[in-house]
Amino acid sequence: MRIQRHQALRPLSRDHHIALQLARGLQTNASPHLRAQLPGERRALVAHVQRVFALELAAHFDVEDRILAPAVAGKAPDLDRIRSEIESEHADLSALAAGLSDPALDDTAIDAALDRFGHMLEGHVRREEREYYQRVQEVLDEASMQQLGVALDRHLVFHGKSAA
């Protein structure tokens, strides 16, 4: 069943496509097709993950934490709980991404960390889509969703991304 996403949240949902492709490609059981889209050499793969994290995922987390979270804070207890857990997942994913460059990690540890990051990122994205964004749409009225959309668009344009 396809989830109908409110126009205000679509730019954030579009970011999830990039994250899911990366997440699924990093998992140990990744399809050869997904794996082939990533660097084959382990250290190059780590560098790629950190680059995508810095350029895409960290910015996505930032807009959710600085714009979306304040817009929904205090609107419903269950939404506050989900928002808090999402923010905690952002911190966990950030720490895991940073830890990938630890020179003490051997190949086995790198493989395990990449697999863990992939699974964690996939779960995070799916949770945002199925729970967080869905609940935001249920809790905020149309006027609030429109205001949120304007704030997200302004942020995206300011940071050089297309809101369309």
Predicted pLDDT of residue 154: 87
Question: 3-state secondary structure string, 100-130?
Answer: CCCCCCCHHHHHHHHHHHHHHHHHHHHHHHH
Full domain range(s) for residue 69: 7-158
Q: What percent of the chain has pLDDT over 90?
A: 88
Q: Is the pLDDT of residue 3 over 80?
A: no
Q: What is the mean pLDDT of residues 133-151?
A: 96
**Quick one: pLDDT band at residue 155, thresholds 50, 70, 90?**
confident
> Does 164 reside within a domain?
no
Q: In this structure, is the dihedral angle defined by the CA atoms of residues 30, 24, 126 and 99, taken in order, positive or negative? A: positive
User: What is the total count of domains within the chain?
Assistant: 1
Which two tokens mark 1?
């069943």
> Does 115 reside within a domain?
yes
Which two tokens mark 89?
């997942």
> Does 109 reside within a domain?
yes
> Does 2 reside within a domain?
no
Helix (H) or strand (E) holding 62: helix 58-63
* Angle between helices 107-127 and 42-52 in degrees, nearest 10: 30
Predicted pLDDT of residue 158: 58
> Does 98 reside within a domain?
yes
Query: What does the alpha-carbon distance between residue 11 and residue 97 come to, in Å, rounded to a whole number?
Result: 23
Residues 23-52: pLDDT tens digits? 999 999 999 999 999 999 999 999 999 999
> Does 65 reside within a domain?
yes
CATH of residue 109:
1.20.120
Query: What does the alpha-carbon distance between residue 63 and residue 154 come to, in Å, rounded to a whole number?
Result: 11
Residues 85-141: pLDDT tens digits? 999 999 999 999 999 999 999 999 999 999 999 999 999 999 999 999 999 999 999
Predicted pLDDT of residue 156: 74
**Quick one: pLDDT band at residue 161, thresholds 50, 70, 90?**
low
- Read off the pTM: 0.92
Helix/strand/coil for 66: helix
> Does 122 reside within a domain?
yes
> Does 41 reside within a domain?
yes
* Angle between helices 107-127 and 77-99 in degrees, nearest 10: 160
Q: Is the pLDDT of residue 164 over 60?
A: no
